[in-house]
Structure 1
């Protein structure tokens, strides 16, 4: 990455793309470069950090978040500080259409399986999207699917009760997160105190899935497609 004398990232293009999120965003950055040839693509953990480094006159900021929750609100506030220089895209599940699209992707990947999707959760209004996603998954044909979250509702107890009510004794446990941080491995896929351990203690055989949503090309395509109206192709 080229920089000027002030440590700012220099772009030969008047436009640039900034992907803001946690974890490994390299595959998504490659997809954005392929979808928008000639546009430089950068990554950062926060909009303030990334916009402060970039010298391009116009920057499109793509939030790499699942929900329009607290992180997205901070991102928008940071972008506003840079005036008309920055414009923002939307998180993955910002609309009913996004919920349906993700449900259809996951239903294709896990067709025929009983699946518990475990998300981080949110106590903000956007947290309702988790329940919406469960309904959409079943409508898309994944009848034995459940969605639970670490914080808020629907929680673990509801998901475990749903599995028991349907007599499901074997389930794939899938992180409903864009990246796999330590809390995913510890709280969801880890040992005795994790969701995996709790399910095993209830007599449910668990197949843990160590894949993040961004590992799925179709999910990354959702983000590049949502950015297209804002960017030249």
Structure 2
């Protein structure tokens, strides 16, 4: 049976971030599933257009599925690279894939990183293996968040962190979502933290991270935490640069493909 794995991501416009995260993940999949065709699609129209202006074409999800059908693929796993089952996953993957069911013998959709109960402890370990946290420093992980609908994954991850007694705090970059800056600040102050390491809870890192997490503007998390009296350092690399975190998606695909 001709098999393909289609890695579906929001996308990454920064060349280095794309190469070290999404492209690296595709290479991992090629090594794990050598009998399968491994390809990618981006769901962000903005990012695909920005790349196209630079002569880089990345398929949309529908373009990729059409091409795989034309190539005679019989089994296709659509494996999202999202962190959570949020709007992007629901509206741009789950809402699109069913219309292609009759084009393949088997068409299945994989899971984002944080879905199952067992994902939280397992993925937290991968994060801890991926980020070096100096002694006496608290780690603040910043996810994207949503301006439209709150995602409870962040609170669930925080509960797992607290159950393990780790000096880690989860926040989101979207100012309209939670856990917001005030909530994270309250946690840091309650711990009497002095040193803070800011890092993205994101697979890729681009302008949003550079500006809103680590930027010099007074509205960035780095600036606001510094103003609040903390010694702040930052990581601007996405978790997708870590083989420990990329392995999460390999494991999810392996569960479905056998």
How many angstroms does 1:141 deviate by?
A: 4.4
Q: Equivalents in 2 of 1:43, 1:35: separation in Å?
A: 16
3-state DSSP of counterpart to 2:125: helix
Cα offset for 1:181? 2.2
Identify which of 150, 155, 161 aligns with 2:186.
161
Q: Is the 8 A contact 2:3 2:35 kept in 1?
A: no
Partners of 2:158 and 2:127 in 1: CA distance: 11
Taking structure 1 as the reference length, the TM-score comes to: 0.87
TM score, norm. by length of structure 2? 0.79
Q: Measured at CA, do residues 35 and 141 of structure 1 come closer, stay the same or move farther in structure 2, by a change above 3 Å?
A: farther
The answer (yes or no) to whether the contact 1:107–1:141 under 8 Å persists in 2 is: no
What are structure 2's unaligned runs of at least 5 residues? 13-17, 44-60
2:4 to 16, 27, 30: 16
Does the CA contact (< 8 Å) of 2:143 and 2:201 recur in 1?
Answer: yes
Partner of 2:210: 185
- Which position in structure 2 is the counterpart of 1:81? 99
Cα drift, residue 49 of structure 1: 3.0
Give the whole-Å Cα distance in 1 for the aligned partners of 2:165 and 2:240. 22
Structure 1 residues not aligned, in runs of 5+:
1-12
Q: Which SS does the other structure have where 2:96 is aligned?
A: helix
- Please say which of residues 99-108 and 160-169 is displaced more in the overlay: 99-108
Report SS of the residue matched to 1:114: strand
Give the SS at the match of 1:81.
helix
Matched position secondary structure for 2:187: helix
Question: Over the residues paired in the alignment, what is the CA RMSD in angstroms?
Answer: 1.7
**Alpha-carbon shift at residue 214 of structure 1 (Å):** 0.8
Equivalent residue runs for 1:45-124 within 5 Å:
45-46=42-43, 47-54=61-68, 55=71, 56-73=73-90, 74-84=92-102, 85=104, 86-108=107-129, 109-110=131-132, 112=135, 113-122=137-146, 124=149
How big is the shift at 1:160?
A: 1.1
**Structure with more relative contact order (C-alpha pairs < 8 Å, separation 6 or more):** 2
CA distance in 2, matches of 1:231, 1:172: 38
Shift of 1:57: 2.6
- Maintained 8 Å contact 2:200/2:236: yes
- 1:176 — aligned with what? 201
Contact 1:48-1:75 at 8 Å conserved across structures:
no
Paired residues in the alignment total: 218
**Structure-1 residue corresponding to 2:58:** none
